[in-house]
Amino acid sequence: MKQFFNDSPIIACSSGHKENCAISILRISGFDDIKDYAACFSINLSNIKPRFAHFTNLIDSRNNDILDQVILLFFPKGASFTGENILEIHCHGNTLNVDKIMKLFVDNFNVKYAQPGEFSYRAYKNKKLSMSQVEGLDLFLNAKSSYGLKAGMSGLSGAIDNDFLKLRDSFIELKSAVELNIDFLDDIGEEQGQELLDKRTEAFDKLLSSLNDRCSTDIDSLLRPDISFIGETNVGKSSLFNLLLNQDRSIVSDIHGTTRDYVSENILIKSQNFRLIDTAGLRETADKIEAEGIKRSLSFSNNSFLKVLVTNPEGLSSVDEKYDLILISKLDLLSKDSIKNIFKELIKLSTSSFIFSSLNDSYIGPIEPVVGSGPTGAASDGPIEPVVGSGPMGAASDGPIEPLEGFSLAFKYYIFSEYSKLTNNDPFVIERHVNKIKELYDSWSQFQLVMRNEKDIAIISSQLNLFNNTIDELVGMIAPDHVLHNIFDNFCIGK
Ligand SMILES: Nc1nc2c(ncn2[C@@H]2O[C@H](COP(=O)(O)OP(=O)(O)OP(=O)(O)O)[C@@H](O)[C@H]2O)c(=O)[nH]1
Ligand SMILES: [Mg+2]
């Protein structure tokens, strides 16, 4: 795999150095003796106290010029991130200065510039990090959502390793129960042997099923939760987008086709970030550029965590099932009677909906479909009293149809609660984990079907052995080169 097998000392700026900043952190890893660099510092390196900060001049060893005043830390072999000797230099973060210092070490000592991920690779190689920890670190560093951060930390902290090791232990217990039934059946007796086997099969099945349950959520939605507003021209998508952002970000006008390309902005809701996407209105057009904008809108509608159709009441008749939420716009222009009729239509749909106005930030909803109610739900014309965040508003609700103020807030609440539903069983988001668990679960289900009528315990034992590799790969005990390559290629320089 790449040039990673080289053991010479490496240097990199670990704090990123694209722009000037106050402090940059350089790391040199893999040298034999710290005293090799004695000429570069004004303090005596023989006396350096491991893991303590030391203030020192950094000196150009060729001409004794003082290059910078730095803080120096020494992490000895075994007690460092990579498992090797590490020198950490906190220098001033002018990019020229950073380059100059790194060049000093590369030109005058046996130090080379680190490849992306090379520090983490060494940590992995020296057993400072397991494969899941490396994957967690990668996820953490590249996360674009709070859930990504959380999942990354769960990998890095070893929590995922624990889950996988528990599964492996349970598998070993199951295998030993099988072996016991082969070799010591006379000692333990048939009934007790079978009981043990059933118990351990059940325990393994339970653990694997619970891991598999955590693989059902769409990874992209979790790691980058996009909310796209799709709909015909002039229905009020951009007005809604601006309302939620509380700024005039998208151009709004009464001319059809105002938004021709997508516009996106991030918002934070309860510390979770979401990307809102305003898109070009859907219509037949001969304009090539607008047509391209519409194509992109449709692609967003396929890939978003929440695909929101914004429509006027007339558009309700042609509503498509593929949307997660339907918003009927311009509530302020609707009469009470038409609201009642719209409500009747909405509860017939299989998708949740709101009727709202961006103009005065008011709404009715959320209106939940009446599951299985058929004509009864649809026929209900009883008045409704919406309550913010109160959950479904079905046909049975009482009270007058009175729009509430604060759609922006109610909608954000809705987004957050939908997202929380996705995350509350701690779904796995590292693709390798998801694929391996699913592979294991599928083969296990097959195995159980085939083995149900198998009485020959020796055959059961040999079939079970087929799981060894997949489990070891999941745990990271077996790491094929292409898997390692994929993981470390993704890292940034300095990590
Ligand atoms: N009365 C009223 N007018 C609204 C409301 N929301 C938007 N409008 C008006 O409807 C027109 C179209 O609004 P936009 O937000 O530009 O609609 P759009 O869906 O982004 O349109 P395209 O960019 O053409 O796809 C503008 O004149 C808005 O002021 C509303 O809640 N009530
Ligand atoms: Mg628009």
pLDDT tens profile 146-189? 899 999 999 999 999 999 999 999 999 999 999 888 887 777 78
pLDDT at 478 over 60: yes
Reported as type and span, the H/E element at residue 149 is helix 146-156
**Ligand 1 within 6 A of CB of 236:** yes
Answering whether pTM is above 0.85, one says no
Q: What mean pLDDT is reported for the chain?
A: 88
Q: Which two tokens stand for residue 311?
A: 């429509």
Q: Ligand 1 pocket: which of 229, 230, 238 to mutate (most atoms <8 Å of CB)?
A: 238
The mean pLDDT of 82-103, rounded to a whole number, is: 97
Using the atom order of ligand 1, give the atom closest to the CA of residue 240. Answer: 15
**Ligand 1 within 6 A of CB of 359:** yes
Residues 270 and 406 in one domain: yes
- Phi then psi for 203, rounded to 5 degrees? -65, -45
Residues 260 and 185 in one domain: no
- Phi then psi for 310, rounded to 5 degrees? -105, 125
Contact 119, 494 (CB under 8 A): yes
Nearest ligand, CA of residue 236? Answer: 1
Q: Which of 95, 130, 165 is the last residue of a domain?
A: 130
pLDDT at 128 over 60: yes
Confidence of residue 494 (pLDDT cuts 50, 70, 90): low
Q: Cα(247)–Cα(171) distance, rounded to whole angstroms?
A: 56
Can you name the residues that pair with 277 across neighbouring β-strands?
228, 264
**Ligand 1 within 6 A of CB of 311:** no
Confidence of residue 303 (pLDDT cuts 50, 70, 90): confident
Residues 276 and 410 in one domain: yes
Structural domain for 89, as ranges: 10-130
pLDDT, residue 166, reads 96
Contact 256, 234 (CB under 8 A): yes
Residue 251 Cα to ligand 1 middle (Å) = 10
Instruction: Establish if 493 belongs to a structural domain.
Output: no
Confidence of residue 349 (pLDDT cuts 50, 70, 90): confident
- Domain count within the chain: 3
The mean pLDDT of 91-112, rounded to a whole number, is: 96
**Ligand 1 within 6 A of CB of 235:** yes
Q: Which of 386, 402, 423 is the last residue of a domain?
A: 423
Q: For the segment 369-419, what is each residue's pLDDT rounded down to a tens digit?
A: 776 544 333 333 444 344 433 344 444 444 446 788 899 999 999 999 999
Instruction: Establish if 146 belongs to a structural domain.
Output: yes
